[in-house]
A = this chain, B = another copy of it.
Amino acid sequence: MKDLNIGMIGYGFMGKAHSNAYSQASHFFPGEYRPVLKALCARNRDKAAGFAENWGYESIETDWRELLKRDDIDAVDICTPNNLHKEIAIAAAEAGKMILCEKPLAMDVAEGEEMCAAVEKAGVRNMVWYNYRRVPAVTLAKQLIDEGRLGKVFHYRANFLQDWTINADVPQGGAATWRLDAEAAGSGVTGDLLAHCIDTALWLNGGIQDVSAMTETFVKERMHAETGQKEAVKIDDACSFLCHFSNGSLGLFESTRYARGHKALYTLEINGEHASIRWDLHDLHRLEYFDHGDDSIVRGWRSIHVSDGDQPYMGNWWVPGLQIGYEHSFIHQVADFLKSLETDAVVSPNFRDALETQKVCDAVLASAAERSWKSI
C-alpha cells in the first residue's frame, strides 16, 4: 500500500466533499494507493485547525506557498474561489505537485491555457472536479452511448436549475456567497452550473461548434459581504443557449438560480435514433432509458434503479436496491485518480478537457453580451 499525500487548499463546501472522498475511497475501492490527509491550508488558522481536526488532517498551513514547498505533499487539491485557481495551479505545477482542481478550471480561456501549459510542461498529473461524470447513472449513460445503443443523436438538452438567490437580501461576496461576486467567481451560473452541464455534454456527445446565448441578472444590486455596501451585481443570474454539436445534433442548455422549486436540479436528456436517455440530479440514482427496439406494445421509458453490481461503481457499494448519494461521485473520482496512479492512464477530465468546457463558457458569455452566434 502506497500513500498519496494530499495537501488541501480551502475548507468550504468543496473542501468537505473532497475530504470525505479521500477518507472513503480506499474503504470501498481498495487498491495500491491510499490517500493520506497530510495538510490543510487556509488563511484563518483557527478555522483551518478545526476543519483539520474533524477530518484528520495531520497538519495545517496558512499560506499555500508554504504548502507547495513541502516535500511530504504529493498532490495539491485546489478548493479556493475561482480567481485563485490559476496562480496556485501554475505554482503547484512548477513545484512538481499533482493537481486536483475544483471546477471551473479558470476565470476564462486565457487563464486556462496558461494552466494547461504549466501542467503539461511540468508533466504533472492533473484533474478537474467535474464530479457528475461519476454519478453511476451518468457513467452508465456514457457506457450505453459507447455501446452504440442510441445511434445517430438528434438532440441534447440539459439544464441546471436552482432557486436560492431569489431573495434579494442574499449578499454577494464573502466566504458563503462568493459565487455571486464576479471578482471571485468570474461568472454566475455559467461557470458554476452550466460548466457542469457542458462538461458532461462534451463527454457524452462530443464537441460544440457554435452557440447563441442569453443571460440575465434579475437582482441588479446586492449588499457585498466584505464592503458592507450595496454594489452592482455583475454575474449572470440565468443563462440559456442554443448550440450545434459536431455530430450534427442540436443542443439546448439552461441554467438559473431563479427557478422556484428546484434546489439543484441538473437534468440531461439525449435523443438518439434508436434510444433516448434522461437523468436528473434530484434522483441521481436513476436513469431513464427508452429503447425503440422493444416490442411496440410494451415500449416505454424505463426507470433504471442504478444500484446493481453490474452497473458502474455499484459493485463496490451495498446490495441491489440500496442507493448511494451525491458525495459518492467524488469518492469515485478519487478512486479513479488512485487507479490512474497504478495504470499511469490519463484520468479525465484533466485540465485540457476542462479547457474545452471553458471555451464554451466564454463563447456563451460573449454571445450573450453581443447578441450574436459565436463559434467555439
251-306 of chain A: CB within 8 A of chain B: 252, 254, 256, 258-265, 271-276, 281-287, 289-292, 294, 296-305
Given contacts A300-B305, A302-B301, A318-B13, contact A323 B282 (CB under 8 A): yes
Complex CA gap A262/B55 in Å reads: 37
State whether B297 touches A291 (Cβ < 8 A). Answer: no
Number of interface residues of A (CB under 8 A): 92
Point out which of A144, A250, A260, A271 has the most chain B C-beta atoms below 10 A from its C-beta.
A260
Residue from the list B214, B263, B296 in contact with A305, Cβ < 8 A:
B263
Does A27 belong to the interface (CB within 8 Å)?
yes
A270 nearest CB across to chain B (Å)? 9
A317 cross-chain contacts in B, Cβ below 8 A: 327
Does A154 belong to the interface (CB within 8 Å)?
yes
A301 cross-chain contacts in B, Cβ below 8 A: 261, 302-303
Point out which of A298, A302, A327, A371 has the most chain B C-beta atoms below 10 A from its C-beta.
A298
Residue from the list B17, B23, B372 in contact with A318, Cβ < 8 A:
B17
Does A30 belong to the interface (CB within 8 Å)?
yes
A327 cross-chain contacts in B, Cβ below 8 A: 317-318, 322, 324
Complex CA gap A70/B300 in Å reads: 49
Complex CA gap A228/B27 in Å reads: 33
A273 cross-chain contacts in B, Cβ below 8 A: 166, 260
Point out which of A140, A214, A274, A304 has the most chain B C-beta atoms below 10 A from its C-beta.
A214
A282 cross-chain contacts in B, Cβ below 8 A: 305, 321, 323
Does A339 belong to the interface (CB within 8 Å)?
no
Complex CA gap A263/B54 in Å reads: 36
Does A36 belong to the interface (CB within 8 Å)?
no
A80 nearest CB across to chain B (Å)? 18
Given contacts A143-B297, A297-B310, A299-B302, contact A260 B292 (CB under 8 A): yes
Residue from the list B248, B264, B276, B307 in contact with A321, Cβ < 8 A:
B264
Q: Interface 1/0s, chain A 193-219, versus B by CB < 8 A?
A: 000000000000000000011101010
A290 cross-chain contacts in B, Cβ below 8 A: 260-261
Given contacts A271-B258, A289-B298, A372-B372, contact A323 B284 (CB under 8 A): yes
Given contacts A259-B271, A260-B274, A281-B321, contact A304 B310 (CB under 8 A): no
Complex CA gap A320/B373 in Å reads: 35
Does A26 belong to the interface (CB within 8 Å)?
yes
A254 cross-chain contacts in B, Cβ below 8 A: 157, 252
A332 cross-chain contacts in B, Cβ below 8 A: none
A274 cross-chain contacts in B, Cβ below 8 A: 260
Q: A155-B258, A324-B327 are in contact. List 4 more A-B contacts (CB 8 A).
A: A154-B218, A214-B244, A285-B323, A294-B302
14 contacts between A and B (CB under 8 A): A20-B27, A23-B24, A26-B54, A27-B55, A154-B166, A161-B271, A164-B320, A250-B256, A259-B271, A261-B271, A261-B276, A263-B307, A263-B308, A325-B328
